[in-house]
Chains A and B, each alone.
Chain A
Amino acid sequence: MTDFIFLLIKAILWVAVGVGMVPFIIYFERKFAGFFQSRMGPTYAGPWGALQSFGDMAKLLSKEDLIPDWADKPVFRIAPYILFVPAFITMALIPFGPMGVEIFGHTVDLVIADFDAGVIMFLALGSVAVYGIVFAGWASNNHWSLLGSLRSGAQMVSYEISMGLSLVGLIILSGSLSFVDIVDAQAGNFWNWYFIPQIVGFVIFYVSSIAELNRAPFDLAEAEQELVAGHMTEYTGMRWGLFMFGEYVNMVVVSAVIVTLFFGGWRAPIEALNFIPGFIWLVGKVLFFVFMYMWIRWTLPRYRYNQLMDIGWKLFLPLAIANLAVTALIVSVN
């Protein structure tokens, strides 16, 4: 029973931090977007507009929830949940501190689920998001929604292949699919982190994750100049809010996965800095990658659809296979 109480506390704290960051991330994204484009960003709600996200949330909660008459209503209702909930399950896989810490006389592992096949679980849960988008587009019964969700479905499954293959090299090095073991294998200083031997895998994984998250420059699903808002066109109020909220929760979770796999997870960059708790390192690194997503989004123009598919199929797929073959050869020769 005490084990379950500790698990509950860990889960609630982890979700509170991971998801609690989201309103601030949205605020900073809008503020940075303003600075990148030489304008002010939000300024009215609170000091420097800092309460903007909460104002938006209050607005979304008090908006009418419209469901189109021609929509497939049960599918239309369930689609935002399918996009939103898997991100939370992925959060369970991410270790945020060492195993077997003594807290109030109890030995606690600072991870929610130490799963042997964590990497496969992460990829599988990532695929579930495709269902959310395709269901939303199909159920809306709107040309824009259907086109957006078709594009997005094809894009996400294409990049999932390069995402999956880009991690094989890393798995060869670590010899384990468990996130906890992968972080342990990166112990020591920052030159033990996997982004150095697996720099090709990291670049492929990072760019593919942008496509998976449907963020600019790969936000073809919701290219507003051509498709209004893609699969979200018919959604209003909090149902639309769940899509947006889910996108940002997914962004935090994918950043945490990148940090865990390639950047030593909760470990400090040099061992002398180990006195700072691992949780703070993890959150700091996650925020850095979230900032990178924002930087890329507000710097690069959107790709055309055939360019996007070319990058996924003709560049990243062969590159990922070459990366894993070279890694396998080097590991075997040693």
Chain B
Amino acid sequence: MISPSVDLIVQFGLMFAIGAIVAVALITIAHILAPTSKNPNKGLPYECGVLPDGDARLPYNVHFYLVAVLFVLFDLEAVFMYPWAVSLAKLGTVGLIEMFLFIFILLVGYFYAWKKGVLEWE
């Protein structure tokens, strides 16, 4: 017990250390036990038996990017609601109305994205 924040760092750090030790130990044991044999064909990517046709990092659907952008927006808004939710009892009616306005603005953006077809996958 030094101070609450140092305690938290120690507590989370300890759990991180245990997790990391378990993972590294497993990989290390496997590294010691496992056999190795060299064969140039082993290093090829798996393509169901067909020879790989070059680099896999081709351009992909922009849709994934749009979903990621929407995620950033909505997740930030979700995090913004947490402090409000904790202190709703103290904020009273004003806090409630303000959050409803915020949610309304959020929903306008949500339906705009929906109408623009960001949420459609074919």
Q: Which of A24-32, A275-283, A310-318 contacts B (4 or more CB under 8 A)?
A: A310-318
- Measured CB to CB, the nearest residue on chain A to B75 is A161
Interface size on A, residues (CB 8 A): 84
Number of interface residues of B (CB under 8 A): 68
Residues of A215-246 contacting chain B, CB below 8 A: 228, 233-234, 237-239, 241-242, 245
Task: Please indicate the chain B residues that have their CB under 8 angstroms from the CB of A195 in the complex.
Answer: none
Roughly how many angstroms separate A172 CA and B27 CA in the complex, as a whole number? 44
Which A residues touch B120, using CB under 8 A? 306
In contact, A328 and B30 (Cβ under 8 angstroms): no
Please judge, given known A-B contacts A68-B43, A168-B85, A237-B34, whether A138 and B122 are in contact too, CB under 8 Å.
no
Chain B residues lying within 8 Å of A171, measured Cβ to Cβ, are 82, 85-86
A187 in the interface (beta carbon within 8 A): no
Chain A CB count within 10 A is highest, among B7, B24, B43, B86, for B86
List the one stretch of A96-104, A112-120, A256-264, A285-293 in contact with chain B.
A112-120
Is A332 engaged at the interface, CB distance under 8 Å to the other chain? yes
A198 interfacial by beta-carbon distance below 8 Å: no
Contact in complex: A332, B96 (CB < 8 Å): yes
Main secondary structure of the interface of A (DSSP, over half): helix
A69 touches B30 (CB 8 A): no
Interchain CB contact under 8 A, B22 and A19: yes
In Å, the complex CA distance between A70 and B19 comes to 29
Q: Which residues of A contact B107 (CB under 8 A)?
A: 321
- CB pair A61–B99 under 8 Å, yes or no, is no
- Does B60 contact A62, Cβ atoms closer than 8 Å? no
In the complex, A179 has a CB within 8 A of chain B:
no
State the CA gap A310–B86 with chains docked (Å).
Answer: 30
Assess whether A332 is in contact with B11, with CB atoms less than 8 Å apart: no
Mask: chain B, 41-85; 1 = CB below 8 Å from A; 0 = not: 011111110001001110011011001100100110011011001
**Cβ of A88 under 8 Å from chain B:** yes
Question: What is the bound-complex CA distance between A142 and B52, given in angstroms?
Answer: 9
How far is B22's CA from A245's CA once the two chains are assembled, in angstroms? 11
With A177-B82, A317-B74 in contact, is A62–B67 under 8 Å at CB?
Answer: no
Which A residues are CB-close (under 8 A) to B56? 70, 140-143, 145-146
A interface residues, Cβ below 8 angstroms from B? 3-4, 7-8, 11-12, 15, 19, 60-70, 80-81, 84-89, 91-92, 112-113, 115, 119-120, 123, 138, 140-147, 150, 153-154, 157-158, 160-161, 164-165, 168-169, 171-172, 175-177, 228, 233-234, 237-239, 241-242, 245, 305-306, 309-310, 313-314, 317-318, 321, 324-325, 328-329, 331-332
